[in-house]
Structure 1
Amino acid sequence: MTNRQGDDSHRDTLADHADPHAAITEAVRELDEALVALGITLPSLGIDLPSYTLTPTPHPLVDLGRCNLATARRLTVALRNTTP
């Protein structure tokens, strides 16, 4: 099990991007497109605004939001069927 921040071996940092807003917006859009392609919708998917706006240097997080049981099951199946 990885820590709460996830596996840092594949970490994409904001330091790699000139525009943090564009980077996090693109990441959310790409994640949404990938999930939709698998038949999964996370209605609350978006940018976690406090993590983006409450510090002088933005460190935005992706907010995955909440989902119902059926969506959680589909997401679990999708994740188990992928290879890292």
Structure 2
Amino acid sequence: MTTAQKSGTTEATEAVEVLRGALTAAGIVLPSLGADTASPALNLINLGRVRADVALRLADVLRRGCDS
């Protein structure tokens, strides 16, 4: 694994933890949330699938955050 790949994996993992913390504070759980380790240089985050009620809650939280 190259330094760039290690860096990408670390960055993606840190981003997942920050996002998970913010979602938890808003009362939202994305069960499949995680770093996509298949392409570490791309720093991709897998948000996964969620139930419709969770998607609506997430949309509501985002809208309220955008209004402030």
Alignment TM-score, normalising by the size of structure 2: 0.80
Of 26, 32, 35, the match for 1:38:
26
| Ranges in structure 1 where 5+ consecutive residues have no aligned partner | 1-14, 53-57
Alignment TM-score, normalising by the size of structure 1: 0.66
Structure in which a larger fraction of residues adopt helix: 2
How many pairs are equivalent? 63
Structure 1 residue runs of 4 or more that deviate by more than 3 Å after TM superposition: none
- For 1:22, the equivalent position in structure 2 comes to 10
Compare relative contact order (CA 8 Å, sep 6+) and give the higher one, 1 or 2: 2
Please tell me the residue identity of whatever aligns with 2:43: P
Shift of 1:49: 2.4
- For 2:18 and 2:62, the matched residues in 1 are separated by 16
Question: Aligned residues: percent identity?
Answer: 43
